Chains A and B, each alone.
Chain A
Amino acid sequence: MAKQTDTTPQERAKLNRELAQMLKGGVIMDVTTPEQARIAEEAGAAAVMALERIPADIRAAGGVSRMSDPKMIKGIQQTVSIPVMAKCRIGHFAEAQVLQAIQIDYIDESEVLSPADDVYHIDKTRFQVPFVCGARDLGEALRRIAEGASMIRTKGEPGTGDVVQAVRHMRLINSQIRHVASLRDDELFEEAKRLEVPVSLVRSVHDEGRLPVVNFAAGGVATPADAALMMQLGAEGVFVGSGIFKSGDPAKRARAIVGAVTNFDDPERIAALSEDLGEAMVGINEDEIKTLMAERGK
């Protein structure tokens, strides 16, 4: 009879993609304290992202931004029963090893932190725990998957409350998927070369008409209508970073965004959920900011 320790690398990769499948139709919320994690779980978060500072504050503070204190992450793990994710810097496989050592459920190799390596991403196939990575287009998404990512999210532009980049990235990825699906079999080799990805992954997208892993929206989602917009554009779930705990009434806004992701194609429900949410996070327009985090790691 099979035991946990018998799990082969192939089975582990499959189980890691399947955990992302279980998160679909859900909202993953950034939290910085156990108290915020509890509010997020009570509001219906499918998972939480534990980090020391939310993207809006990282942006405001400037400087080098690193993996969070493991003690702070453990405090959140002990507070909630939903999956706990945490971020490491792009290419910083030692930070990822630390997160695996504390049994994190998902690692986000994230452009929100300062990149540790400007050439190489982490070889995620060497890890037991799953990774989610950001992508702006199909090439980036498939390169991350080739490196072992079990889940993809749009990069968006974190910490801005401006959804324009998440929309741009989701539309681009999905239109590129439709394009690949429309190609003849003998055109896939050239397409793989153009996208700078393995032909096996291009063939998978061609045959299935979708990415081989779950794809969430992230970056700039601040309202129930933002969440509904991303779901209608084809996101399978939503990350909300600064949008909740930078707003006037985090618990209410969190519940409203959860409801909006479930009933994303019901405008009357979205209208009801959008009432009396208090102040949304203060937005920064994309063209007002100096550091475009989405440009990190390609």
Chain B
Amino acid sequence: MATAVLALQGAFAEHEAMLDRLGEPWFELREARDLDRPFDRLVLPGGESTVQGRLLREEGMLVPLRERILAGMPVLGTCAGLILLAAQVSGDASRQDEPSPDQVGPWLGTLDVTVERNAYGRQLGSFHARAEFDEVGEVPMSFIRAPYVAGVGPRATELARVDGRVVAVRQGNQIGVAFHPELDGDTRVHEMFLEL
């Protein structure tokens, strides 16, 4: 079997390179008919969640993917991917008007967390850190206009924290992280995902 990488927009090629390094076969999900190919894992890459969420709906992929995740298919969501997974999404603080429902999610809504979008502000707030990741050890973390997890529901558990904020969570076979393990050359988070 293979890992499907959502390739609607964003940094999907970087995840594909990580999967190549780990010898995991993969293919890209761009439209509904790609769902007919056999896959038993899913990667949701970084990018713009509003773009990816809208295209997921429009392409008719949102409901089939949600059903497969709820049935237990392992999924790794990074940054925008975490936002797509979150059961609740709160808008970003800088925004003054009321955004349309299409732009604020929730989208897949399978992960029992509340995610704060653009939680560190604009690009000047982007930063790099190293922090403990549960069962993995200290890993490098790049936060790029990143979200964080403002609330962890009873079904989810925290995996990592930076500056007191939860930045990685797990719920069964779902892993959601606010940073970009695909960018820093450290394969351990992907290895953990492939072992699910």
CA distance A19 to B121 in the complex (A): 13
Is A60 at the interface (CB under 8 A from chain B)?
no
Known: A24-B13, A25-B9, A81-B91. A42 touches B102 (CB 8 A): yes
Is A32 at the interface (CB under 8 A from chain B)?
no
Interface with A: B43-51, B107-115, B186-194, which one? B43-51
Contact, CB under 8 Å: B11 / A24: yes
Contact, CB under 8 Å: B48 / A46: yes
- B55 contacts which chain A residues (CB < 8 A)? 44, 258-259, 262
A4, A14, A21, A78: the one contacting B94 at CB < 8 Å is: A78
Give the interface SS of chain B, mostly helix, strand, loop or mixed: loop
What is the total number of residues of chain A having a CB less than 8 Å from a CB of chain B? 47
CB of A132, distance to nearest CB on chain B (Å): 12
CA distance A128 to B123 in the complex (A): 9
Interface with A: B18-26, B67-75, B128-136, B150-158, which one? B128-136
CB of B16, distance to nearest CB on chain A (Å): 12
Is A15 at the interface (CB under 8 A from chain B)?
yes
Interface string of A70-81 (1 = CB under 8 A from B): 000000011111
Is B8 at the interface (CB under 8 A from chain A)?
yes
> Which chain A residues numbered 1 to 55 have a C-beta less than 8 Å away from chain B?
1-4, 6-7, 11, 14-16, 18-19, 21-26, 38, 41-42, 44-47
Is B163 at the interface (CB under 8 A from chain A)?
yes
B14, B96, B126: the one contacting A78 at CB < 8 Å is: B96
Residues of B within 8 A of A (CB): 7-14, 30-31, 46-48, 50-51, 54-55, 58, 79-80, 91-92, 94-97, 99-100, 102-103, 117-118, 120-131, 142, 144-145, 162-163, 180, 183
Known: A19-B145, A25-B9. A2 touches B48 (CB 8 A): no
CB of A2, distance to nearest CB on chain B (Å): 4
CA distance A94 to B131 in the complex (A): 38
Contact, CB under 8 Å: B14 / A21: yes
Contact, CB under 8 Å: B51 / A22: no
Contact, CB under 8 Å: A24 / B9: yes
In the complex, the chain A residue whose C-beta lies closest to that of B132 is A1
Residues of A within 8 A of B (CB): 1-4, 6-7, 11, 14-16, 18-19, 21-26, 38, 41-42, 44-47, 77-83, 100, 103-106, 128-130, 258-259, 261-263, 266, 269
Contact, CB under 8 Å: A22 / B96: no
CB of A176, distance to nearest CB on chain B (Å): 22
Contact, CB under 8 Å: B127 / A81: no
CB of B95, distance to nearest CB on chain A (Å): 6
Known: A77-B94, A81-B50, A262-B30. A18 touches B183 (CB 8 A): yes
Contact, CB under 8 Å: B95 / A81: yes
In the complex, the chain A residue whose C-beta lies closest to that of B184 is A14
CB of B18, distance to nearest CB on chain A (Å): 13
Give 11 A-B contacts (CB < 8 Å), ordered by A residue: A1-B162, A2-B131, A7-B127, A7-B128, A15-B126, A18-B180, A22-B47, A24-B13, A46-B47, A128-B124, A259-B55
Contact, CB under 8 Å: B48 / A23: yes
CA distance A22 to B183 in the complex (A): 11
- A46 contacts which chain B residues (CB < 8 A)? 9, 47-48, 51
Contact, CB under 8 Å: A26 / B10: yes
CA distance A15 to B126 in the complex (A): 7
Contact, CB under 8 Å: A18 / B144: yes
CB of A126, distance to nearest CB on chain B (Å): 14
- A7 contacts which chain B residues (CB < 8 A)? 127-128
- A15 contacts which chain B residues (CB < 8 A)? 123, 126-128, 142, 144
CA distance A266 to B79 in the complex (A): 28
Contact, CB under 8 Å: B31 / A263: yes
Contact, CB under 8 Å: B51 / A81: no
Extra contacts besides A26-B51, A83-B145, A263-B31 (11): CB < 8 Å: A3-B129, A7-B128, A16-B123, A22-B144, A25-B47, A41-B103, A44-B51, A78-B95, A81-B99, A103-B124, A262-B7
